[in-house]
Amino acid sequence: MNHKPELLAPAGNIESFFGAIQSGADAVYLGLKKFSARATAANFTIDELATLMPFAHKRGVRIYIALNSQIVSNQVPQLLDTLNSLASLKPDALIVQDAGIFHLARRWFPGFKLHASTLTAAHNTAGVNALQAIGAGRVVLARELNLEEIEKICQGTKAELEIFIHGALCYSYSGLCLTSSFRGGRSGLSGECVQPCRLKFRQGNKEGFFLSCNDLCALSLIPRLKRLRIAAFKIEGRMKPAAWVANVVKAYRLVLDAESGDEEQQALIKAQELIAQAPSRRLSSGHFDQTGAGQILAPHRSGSSGAWSATVKSVLPNRVLIDLRSPIAKGDRLRPESSIGREQEAFTVSQLFDGAGKSILSAQTGAQVYLACSKPLHSGDRLFKVGTRSESAAAIWKTIREEVPAGVRQKSKFPHRQKILDDLEKPVQAQTRQNETLIVKVDSGNDLAQALRSSAAMVLLSATANNLERIAKQKFSPSQMKKFGLSLPAVIFEKEIEYFRAAVGWFIKKGFLLWEINNWGHFDLTGQGRGVRLIAGSRLNLRNSAAFAQAEELGCRQSVVSLEITKEELKELAQKRFSAGLVLTVYCRPPLFTSRLVPTLHQDRPFLSPRNDVYHMIKKTGRVEIYADMPVSWLEQLPVLRSFGYSNFLIDFSESPAKRPDSLQAALRGFAASRSPASYSLFNFERRP
């Protein structure tokens, strides 16, 4: 008998919430006004949730709260109050990415069931095992996995597993994308991604949407996926309108409920008809099919979702003239897209006028009509239909509140808040300045030799398979062994896990005890063996005291803070308990995108965004990395950082485009002189958190 996973639907507003339940969802995930990785959705208040929870539970529908944004240090007090309020409401689970929430929930709110968000980048058995060990009852797997990898993870782990089966795809691994934050301070980890991968890029005379992904549709794969040990099938779409959510839920409900054989085939046919009524980008099987990965990227197509329904011909005061490619009507939802691929927020068609200025209810393909619109549209903008009129929010709330007249009472301020804050964030006592520690991280043999000769207190080498094989044959002096360590790669494919597990064990036995952790799965590989020294790397995205406490609990003596952190945050953190163990990256070239998808671009030539931001691509085994044209440098900020009290600094030369104009020697000289190269980025240093 086939296993029937839970069908999990998105709800970014009350209309989608109601539509998902009415259409047969087993569970709904939604976000609050704060701490959601879809910050631009309408989302919900605690008071609204107090009413929605009993309404859903009465129908046997579970509610999962997406508390899945990165937590900034000054948000911890408000986070504690939010967790306290949610604890009294008893949601069925919290979806979490931040290590600090895992830490706080286990100690102070043990009643919560925690689901590890896809933003934790769990892409192998080790990742699932490690997340389960810190409290995840369910792990949402990375969307970049193929069916064979998912099957192996199902066989090799015991935690509940959840996979995405429909909706938008990101070019980069979720949790490993820095582009939106780097270019404009809008972090995808905090739910503010401006979708830079959807833009039209150019390389030489060639233009295209080279990084824009088609949407995922696993409808035809459901019969096979049902046979795996998967707890939930998840639909992406908290920014989607209610009609879209309802149609997609109905489609997958049909196939999930169908018996195998002819009934299943008939259900697939009907389901595909429903999917056709849910506007989307071109549909693909995503990463599930290893041979179909090329279907994901479509550089000749716009990245906007929905059906291209109209083009703006001219803009008048309070009205725009549009040329229709398909019918539209009052109540339709339209999303504008500029000529360079920049999406804007969708709006509802409130008024339509014919050429004579007469108000009309609808218009057909080929017509030119006027549209009342307060949005800042421009000639040439394309309008994509993303939904149609649905029942009003007011009417839905009226229906729900008639059934649930008084919501569940919830607590607000957490009574133990100050005790926790005192423990996590108590100011450090005045103390003698620590000796300054410089860590250098490299990827090549030449840089390694130079780093070992330098004054660096620690030298980390990227633990690629090639480097591990080479280092296994190399002899180190006792002084070199004392400061030498290995940095595990952020992405280790499932087929490589046993190799890395054996290699890590071999090196530890040989006395290589210093390791940098760059994915939660690395804790499963290194364990917490006697004498092993662990450093939490920047890819763990640690940015608050509770997250640093979690890393310390797992054996990390030091933590490299998130590359997205700001000066204002650093100034505040410098006075807290964990400040002595924090490491600041003062020079690096981080990959902005890390992907399994190879775009139709030349590796040895730069490519440009619409505003002439320059990018470089490098192909590595099994993945692609895309970099900015300049390093991140805080070298000139060293006097400021030292004045805050920081004394641990990292120069990271382990990641870069194929050809880089700078050198490790120049970076070391810059560190000694507090001088940056001619062209550099401060990343988010001067931005507000």
pLDDT in tens, 645-668: 999 999 999 998 877 778 999 999
Q: At 22, give phi and psi (nearest 5°).
A: -65, -25
What is the rounded distance in angstroms from the CA atom of residue 326 to the CA atom of residue 365?
4
**What pLDDT does 429 receive?**
59
- Helix, strand, coil percent content, the chain, rounded in steps of 5: 35, 25, 45
Q: What are the tokens at 332?
A: 């339709």
The pLDDT of residue 99 is above 60: yes
**What pLDDT does 376 receive?**
85
Q: How many structural domains compose the chain?
A: 4
pLDDT band at 304 (very low <50, low <70, confident <90, very high): low
Is 319 among the domain residues? yes
DSSP-assigned states of every residue in 110-177: TT--EEE-GGG---SHHHHHHHHHTTEEEEE--TT--HHHHHHHHHH--SEEEEEEEE---SSPTTS-
Q: What are the tokens at 114?
A: 């925690």
Is 681 among the domain residues? no
- CB burial readout 465-500, b (16+ within 10 A) else e: eebbeebeeeeeeeeeeebbbbbbbbbbbbebbeeb
Give residue 578's domain range. 429-589+631-673
Question: Do 493 and 566 sit in the same domain of this protein?
Answer: yes
**What pLDDT does 634 receive?**
98
> What residues contact residue 367 under an 8 Å CB cut-off, 6+ apart?
324, 354
**What pLDDT does 220 receive?**
93
- Among 216-225, 525-534, 626-635, the least confident range: 525-534
Question: Do 34 and 85 sit in the same domain of this protein?
Answer: yes
The 10 Å Cβ neighbour count of residue 561 is: 27
CA distance from start to end of the chain: 51
**What pLDDT does 237 receive?**
94
Q: What is the mean pLDDT of the chain?
A: 92
What is the rounded distance in angstroms from the CA atom of residue 486 to the CA atom of residue 192?
33
Question: Do 438 and 345 sit in the same domain of this protein?
Answer: no
Rounded mean pLDDT of 101-116? Answer: 96
Is 337 among the domain residues? yes
User: C-alpha distances in angstroms, 329 versus 326, 333, 353, 374, 470?
Assistant: 10, 9, 11, 17, 66
| Domain at 334, CATH number | 2.40.30.10
Domain boundary at 292, 321, 343, which?
Answer: 292
Closest by CA to 158, choosing from 134, 144, 137, 135, is: 137
Closest by CA to 586, choosing from 614, 619, 611, 563, is: 563
What is the rounded distance in angstroms from the CA atom of residue 362 to the CA atom of residue 590?
50
> What tens digit of pLDDT does each residue of 340-382 get?
777 777 788 989 999 888 999 889 999 999 998 877 899 999 9
Is 401 among the domain residues? no
DSSP-assigned states of every residue in 54-105: HHHHHTT-EEEEE--SPPPGGGHHHHHHHHHHHHHH--SEEEE--HHHHHHH
Sign of the torsion formed by the C-alpha atoms of 487, 492, 495 and 498 = positive
The order of strands in the sheet holding 347-348 is: 347-348, 333-337, 382-387, 307-316, 319-324, 368-372, 352-353, 359-360
The number of angstroms, rounded, from the C-alpha of 486 to the middle of its chain's C-alpha atoms is: 26
Question: Do 176 and 242 sit in the same domain of this protein?
Answer: no
Rounded mean pLDDT of 593-618? Answer: 95
> What tens digit of pLDDT does each residue of 479-504 get?
999 999 999 999 999 999 999 999 99
Question: Do 506 and 519 sit in the same domain of this protein?
Answer: yes
What is the rounded distance in angstroms from the CA atom of residue 98 to the CA atom of residue 315?
45
What is the rounded distance in angstroms from the CA atom of residue 664 to the CA atom of residue 678?
15
> What tens digit of pLDDT does each residue of 454-473 get?
999 999 999 999 999 999 99
**What's the predicted TM-score (pTM) here?**
0.90
Q: Please, which residues bridge with residue 323 across strands?
A: 311, 368
Closest by CA to 482, choosing from 531, 526, 524, is: 531
The number of angstroms, rounded, from the C-alpha of 483 to the middle of its chain's C-alpha atoms is: 34
| Domain at 473, CATH number | 3.20.20.60
Is 414 among the domain residues? no
Q: What are the tokens at 222?
A: 């459901």
Is 685 among the domain residues? no
Q: What are the tokens at 197?
A: 């991968």
Question: Do 370 and 249 sit in the same domain of this protein?
Answer: no
For residue 423, count CB atoms less than 10 angstroms from its CB and return exposed for 0-12, middle for 13-18, buried for 19 or more. Answer: middle
Question: Do 370 and 441 sit in the same domain of this protein?
Answer: no
**What pLDDT does 411 receive?**
66
Question: Do 347 and 470 sit in the same domain of this protein?
Answer: no
What is the rounded distance in angstroms from the CA atom of residue 71 to the CA atom of residue 74?
8
DSSP-assigned states of every residue in 421-481: HHHHHPPPPP-PPPPPEEEEEESSHHHHHHHHHSS-SEEEEE--HHHHHHHHT----HHHH
Is 651 among the domain residues? yes
Domain boundary at 292, 327, 351, which?
Answer: 292
User: C-alpha distances in angstroms, 141 versus 39, 121, 219, 644?
Assistant: 22, 7, 18, 39
The pLDDT > 70 percentage for the chain reads: 96
The pLDDT of residue 108 is above 90: yes
Domain boundary at 354, 387, 420, which?
Answer: 387
Q: What are the tokens at 234?
A: 């998840």
The pLDDT of residue 529 is above 80: no
**What pLDDT does 1 receive?**
41
SS3 string, 642-672, reads: HHHCCCEEEEEECCCCCCCCCCHHHHHHHHH
> What tens digit of pLDDT does each residue of 142-173 get?
999 999 999 999 999 999 999 999 999 999 99
Q: Please, which residues bridge with residue 536 across strands?
A: 517, 559
**23 touches 249 (CB < 8 A):** yes
Is 420 among the domain residues? no
Q: What are the tokens at 438?
A: 């410089």
Question: Do 55 and 152 sit in the same domain of this protein?
Answer: yes
The pLDDT of residue 410 is above 50: yes
> What residues contact residue 565 under an 8 Å CB cut-off, 6+ apart?
543, 684, 689
User: C-alpha distances in angstroms, 205 versus 202, 208, 340, 617?
Assistant: 7, 10, 15, 17
Question: Do 69 and 154 sit in the same domain of this protein?
Answer: yes
User: C-alpha distances in angstroms, 595 versus 297, 622, 627?
Assistant: 12, 9, 12
| Domain at 150, CATH number | 3.20.20.70
For the chain, what's the residue count?
Answer: 689
Between 688 and 25, the higher pLDDT residue: 25
What is the rounded distance in angstroms from the CA atom of residue 664 to the CA atom of residue 42?
47
Question: Do 500 and 512 sit in the same domain of this protein?
Answer: yes
Q: Does residue 555 sit in helix, strand or coil? A: coil
The beta strand positions in 332-381, using DSSP E, are 333-337, 347-348, 352-353, 359-360, 362-363, 368-372
The pLDDT > 90 percentage for the chain reads: 76
Question: Do 268 and 164 sit in the same domain of this protein?
Answer: yes
The beta strand positions in 226-381, using DSSP E, are 232-235, 283-284, 307-316, 319-324, 328-329, 333-337, 347-348, 352-353, 359-360, 362-363, 368-372
Residue type, 237: G
**128 touches 161 (CB < 8 A):** yes
The number of angstroms, rounded, from the C-alpha of 303 to the middle of its chain's C-alpha atoms is: 18
